Amino acid sequence: MRYITLILLLSFKLFAIDATLEIVKNTNKIPYIVVERLDSDNADFGAKVLKMLVADLKVSGHFQVYDGGVKKSTNIDYADYKDKKTDLLVQIKVSKSSNNLNGNISLYDINTSKHIYTKDYAENDAKRFPFIAHRMAIDINSYINAPKIDWMQRLIVLSRYTTPGNSEILISDYTLTYQKVLIKGGLNIFPKWADSKQESIYYTKYLNVPTIVKYNLNTGQTEQLIGSEGIAIVSDVSKNGENLILSLSPTALSDLYLYNVKSNNLRRLTNYSGIDVDGKFINDEKEIIFVSDRLGYPNIFAMRLDGGGTEQVVLHGRNNSAITSNGKYAVYTSRESDNEFGDNTFNLYLISLSPGSNYIRRLTASGKNQMPKYSNDGESIMYLKHYKSQSALGIIRVNYNTNYFFPLNKMKIQAFDW
């Protein structure tokens, strides 16, 4: 298993408030935490979990982190750690039995000279070692009452091209270190989580026509929902999982539809002679935003689900081909150049969806930045970045002015969902 190198590349001041000032107990600074590994039954996986835990704590934005390496003794010299200005100490142990992996963590508060807790973690597949580290980081983060980072343990579902005309769907952790193929054979594209528990997905499979299929991760069972001659894509899923926004083109170019999975009722939302795609629920699911070429180029529009006309949302750029939203804010792609014979720059922009607001902020500065997706808590943004000959999966921690990248290493992602 390759290691993912975590690199802090960009920093943008998005907000005037330093969110980290509110997360620390009894101090006015970000806590300094040392992570150590005790001698364990499996040094290989112990080193991997240590490396991943250090990276997770850095990505959280809530800690100053130091990799303390391997320790022979379990004795804690609190005075020595205090002299080094340490606030928290983490010691981990990792053991492997058959294909089962077990992790153990002990957390110490150096300022109060107290052992806080010891906790065990287990995975029945050693390849899932990143999730032991992710859960450790979540628990450490909870101790200092920092904003939650539960998104770290969520799965990413993505489709990647394998050979011409073929693609497979797989799941991974957010760093792409753990990967497991779910579906292969033929063209399988546009995966989307079907529920908040991440038990099922929707995806598009080319049968006689493009067809939306539901796949259960636990049972492996599939169910065909609806097909369309041109495209058939699940663009968004309501919070309760009952309503879907579909991009379909049964007769001409694509329009948006609202589909209820319980009643199988399909209601057309747009009726435009051009292209309407990529609809997303906003405003407590009373409205949607979507991409349309009704101005002669891709741009972002909004409309109410109970009827009414469409409204242009984005007034910047002339090629805004993707959109994501957490309900209050939206992030969209914008082409920044018009190079007919070479690469063009696509950047991400953040806008407020509050009525009358003109808030806009650029999130990226170079390369092709595409396919933005909000995390389920609405605090982070995942996207694809292509710069020169390199590609990476990026995460923007919006409130912490940081941007992290995980190299794709020749993986060609078609689409993903978080």
* 19 pLDDT higher than 60: no
CATH of the domain at 87: 3.40.50.10070
Residue 259 CA to residue 373 CA, distance in Å, equals: 22
Rg (CA), the chain: 23
Report the domain count for the chain: 2
Q: Which of 82-86, 143-147, 208-212, 294-298 has the weakest average pLDDT?
A: 294-298
Same domain, 133 and 75: yes
* 132 pLDDT higher than 70: yes
Same domain, 356 and 238: yes
End-of-domain residue from the set 144, 164, 194: 144
Residue 303, SS3? strand
The confidence score (pLDDT) of residue 345 equals: 87
Same domain, 346 and 209: yes
Same domain, 213 and 322: yes
* 12 pLDDT higher than 50: no
* 7 pLDDT higher than 80: no
Dihedral angle over CA of 59, 373, 406, 123, nearest 10? 70
Residue 259 CA to residue 160 CA, distance in Å, equals: 27
346 Cβ contact list (under 8 Å, min separation 6): 319, 333, 334, 335, 336, 367, 368, 369, 370
**Average pLDDT of the residues in 53-75:** 92
Same domain, 122 and 163: no
Answer whether residue 1 is part of any domain: no
Same domain, 88 and 229: no
CATH of the domain at 304: 2.120.10.30
Same domain, 136 and 178: no
Answer whether residue 194 is part of any domain: yes
The confidence score (pLDDT) of residue 2 equals: 33
Residue 347, SS3? strand
The more confidently predicted of residues 198 and 357 is 198
Confidence of residue 4 (pLDDT cuts 50, 70, 90): very low
By the 8 A CB rule, do 205 and 234 touch? no
Answer whether residue 22 is part of any domain: no
Residue 368 CA to residue 288 CA, distance in Å, equals: 26
End-of-domain residue from the set 144, 170, 188: 144
Confidence of residue 15 (pLDDT cuts 50, 70, 90): very low
**Average pLDDT of the residues in 392-411:** 90
**Average pLDDT of the residues in 65-86:** 92
Determine phi and psi for 70, rounding to 5 degrees.
Answer: -95, 135
Provide the percentage of residues in the chain whose pLDDT is more than 90. 73
Chain Cα centroid distance, residue 155: 8
The confidence score (pLDDT) of residue 42 equals: 81
The mean predicted confidence, pLDDT, of the chain is 88
Residue 61 CA to residue 30 CA, distance in Å, equals: 9
Domain that holds residue 122: 32-144
Same domain, 239 and 314: yes
**Average pLDDT of the residues in 180-199:** 96
Answer whether residue 7 is part of any domain: no
Name the residue among 178, 151, 133 with its Cα closest to residue 35. Answer: 133
Answer whether residue 53 is part of any domain: yes
Residue 175 CA to residue 153 CA, distance in Å, equals: 10
Same domain, 113 and 162: no
Answer whether residue 200 is part of any domain: yes
* 308 pLDDT higher than 80: no
Residue 333 CA to residue 73 CA, distance in Å, equals: 52
Q: Which of 59-63, 252-256, 302-306 has the weakest average pLDDT?
A: 252-256
Q: Which of 108-122, 192-206, 291-305 has the weakest average pLDDT?
A: 291-305
Residue 300 CA to residue 323 CA, distance in Å, equals: 8
**Average pLDDT of the residues in 52-77:** 92
Same domain, 352 and 253: yes
Same domain, 103 and 242: no
Provide the β-strand partners of residue 290: 301
End-of-domain residue from the set 111, 144, 177: 144
Name the residue among 272, 248, 273 with its Cα closest to residue 259. Answer: 248
Provide the percentage of residues in the chain whose pLDDT is more than 70. 92
Query: pLDDT (tens digit, 9 = 90+) per residue, 337-382?
Result: 776 556 778 999 999 998 888 899 999 988 899 999 999 999 999 9
Answer whether residue 21 is part of any domain: no
61 Cβ contact list (under 8 Å, min separation 6): 19, 20, 397, 399, 400, 402
The confidence score (pLDDT) of residue 149 equals: 95
Query: pLDDT (tens digit, 9 = 90+) per residue, 245-295?
Result: 999 998 778 999 999 999 999 999 998 888 999 999 999 999 999 999 988
Residue 394 CA to residue 389 CA, distance in Å, equals: 16
Answer whether residue 37 is part of any domain: yes
The confidence score (pLDDT) of residue 8 equals: 29
Same domain, 188 and 228: yes
